[in-house]
Amino acid sequence: MTQTVLITGTGRPYALGFNLVKRYLENGDRVFASVRRPSEALEGLKKEYPGVLHILNMDIASTASVSAAAAECSKLTDSLDLIINNATTASADTMKELPDFDLDLVAPAVNVGAVGPIRVLKAFLPLLKKSAIGALVVNISSEAGSIGKCYRTFYLDYGTEKAALNMLTMTMHNYFRDDPNLNIICLHPGWIRTNPGNNEAPLIPYEHAETLRILFEKKRHDKNGPVFITWTGESYPW
């Protein structure tokens, strides 16, 4: 069974979004890959998959940009079966603690990392509603968004945006609870080698993208399962 997928934040060839795009294409799916600026890597992939990979320009910080991308997408497809809200941000101060952290950087990060995915959900909802196989929305969160497990004294922006994303995911999960055709979850994807300068992370993006692709298929109709999960499918503490 093939499907139509939207993935955000897909322009970096070493990162998770781009590798998810590759895996879905290799699986025979139709992919809408969003970027906020041109990506040579994605343009190259488009040449390999003409008519199957569509690149959307979308800045998830902007409601106007997300609405325009949804309108563009609607010209090319009647439905979406899966949205992976992968795009995220962290400020230059993210590793700093209170005395050195510019607190004015928290709200813009929350706007991208927490509100952005819900903007996408809202704008693309008419397409999700038309899925013939039941739609799934996966918001890529992080263990850094878990309040119960929080031990850090930094990540004032990133931790806050992911915690807010978790709350918004649960609220949306509740809102669509009685809709048998739409499930919404959030995921801690594990520590992935998406930073070219850091080889410590154990999970390789291209390999891990396939693990996640298979996991997401198990979650499509699992409306009563855990809502915040790890890459192994287990529940993660809020």
Ligand X SMILES: NC(=O)c1ccc[n+]([C@@H]2O[C@H](COP(=O)([O-])OP(=O)(O)OC[C@H]3O[C@@H](n4cnc5c(N)ncnc54)[C@H](OP(=O)(O)O)[C@@H]3O)[C@@H](O)[C@H]2O)c1
Hey, which residues are catalytic here? 158, 162
User: Can you tell me which of 3, 4, 86, 169 binds ligand X, judged by CB under 6 A?
Assistant: 86
Smaller CB separation from ligand X, 5 or 223 = 5
CB of 178 to ligand X, least distance (A): 28
CB of 1 to ligand X, least distance (A): 26
Question: Per-residue x/- marks for ligand X, 173-212, CB under 6 A?
Answer: ----------------x-xx-x------x-----------
Smaller CB separation from ligand X, 33 or 223 = 33
3-state secondary structure the chain: CCCEEEECCCCCCCCHHHHHHHHHHHCCCEEEEEECCCCHHHHHHHHHCCCCEEEEECCCCCHHHHHHHHHHHHHHCCCCCEEEECCCCCCCCCCCCHHHCCHHHHHHHHHHHHHHHHHHHHHHHHHHHCCCCCEEEEEECCHHHCCCCCCCCCCCCHHHHHHHHHHHHHHHHHHCCCCCCEEEEEEECCCECCCCCCCCCCECHHHHHHHHHHHHHHHCCCCCCCCEEECCCCECCC
Smaller CB separation from ligand X, 154 or 179 = 154
131 binds ligand X per the rule CB under 6 A: no
CB of 180 to ligand X, least distance (A): 28
User: Can you tell me which of 45, 60, 114, 209 binds ligand X, judged by CB under 6 A?
Assistant: 60
Contact residues toward ligand X (CB under 6 A) are 8-9, 11-12, 15-17, 36-37, 59-61, 86-89, 112, 140, 142, 189, 191-192, 194, 201
